[in-house]
Amino acid sequence: MAVVESKKRVGLFVTCLVDLIRPSVGFAAAKLIEDAGFMVEVPRQTCCGQPAFNSGDRATARALAEQVIAAFEGFDYVVAPSGSCGGQLKIHYPELFRDDPDWLARADAFAAKTYELVSFLVDVAGVTHVDATFEGTATYHDACSGLRELGVRVQPRRLLGTVQGLTMKEMADSEVCCGFGGTFATKYPDISATIVAKKAANVVATGADMVIAGDLGCLMNMAGKLSRDGKTIEVRHVAEVLAGMSDLPAIGAPPRERTP
């Protein structure tokens, strides 16, 4: 009797912004992971705790981290469609438990199996191409946490290069912050506005039809600025493009009217 190897289980960490603002990113992430041969589940979950962590509220950040670690403990992998949340889960969770040997062991084990979405697809699942089409040109913004904490740079460009009909154009300073930074944009709105203005100008200068990134916070910030400037450049999450879900309205765009 042949033994059928069961698929490895991936716990999808949806993120707050995806859940509340752009659920289609979560569905796109699930599709990509399933297409790569894994079983995807979405356990009951909460915020990763990054806003509290960045604001110095370690007690709240730790309480949330304990909930997340417990919720995802039974999975082979944990995947987040966000370098920002992914960095919090993988890099900063172990920092929260340095004084607690019992929880530190659990946090380290959790961090070791946690990945940003596109990094997981390329570096773990070995995905080399996607079955998606987008007729047009796009430029890519390297979100800070994904790039600097998780080393996400080549992976999205590699897969985007296999999207049929899509031409990629590099913008100037693609690795420079867009000015969102979570609570930073709230605490320092004038500085944030100056930074995103430079980012938007670099996007426009490419002549691309679309700007892509892996963090919804960055995308919302750039979409807001481009809209205020009267630009029609589409703003999309990399997961949606790779999953072939670019028929949805772009981030910040009004919903399309339904035909009778």
Residues 135-153: what's their mean pLDDT?
Answer: 97
How many CB atoms are closer than 10 A to CB 239? Answer: 29
Region of residue 165 (left: phi > 0; alpha: psi -120 to 50; beta: else): left
The Cα 251–Cα 249 span in angstroms is 7
Q: For residue 205, which of 250, 227, 174 has the smallest C-alpha distance?
A: 174
Specify the residue for token string 């009217």. 257
- Secondary structure E strands in the chain: 9-12, 39-41, 77-80, 114-116, 133-140, 164-168, 210-213, 234-237
Confidence of residue 183 (pLDDT cuts 50, 70, 90): confident
SS3 (DSSP) at 27: helix
φ, ψ of residue 40 in degrees (nearest 5):
-110, 135
**Percent of the chain at pLDDT above 90?**
91
Dihedral sign, CA of 251, 33, 150, 52? positive
pLDDT for 4: 46
Which residue type does 123 have? D
Local structure of residue 88 (DSSP, 8 states): I
Residues 233-246: what's their mean pLDDT?
Answer: 97
pLDDT over 70 (residue 182): yes
Structure tokens at 247: 């028929």
The Cα 182–Cα 175 span in angstroms is 17
Using an 8 Å Cβ cutoff, are 57 and 25 in contact? no
pLDDT for 257: 64
Using an 8 Å Cβ cutoff, are 122 and 58 in contact? no
pLDDT over 60 (residue 240): yes
* 168-193 core/surface letters (b: 16 or more CB in 10 A; e: else): beebeebeebbbbbbeebeeeeeebe
pLDDT for 3: 45
pLDDT tens across 58-109, in order?
Answer: 999 999 999 999 999 999 999 999 999 999 999 999 999 999 999 999 999 9
Helix (H) or strand (E) holding 26: helix 23-35
Angle at 21 between CA 211 and CA 69, to 5 degrees: 105
Confidence of residue 2 (pLDDT cuts 50, 70, 90): very low
Pairwise pLDDT comparison (2 vs 190), residue with the higher score = 190
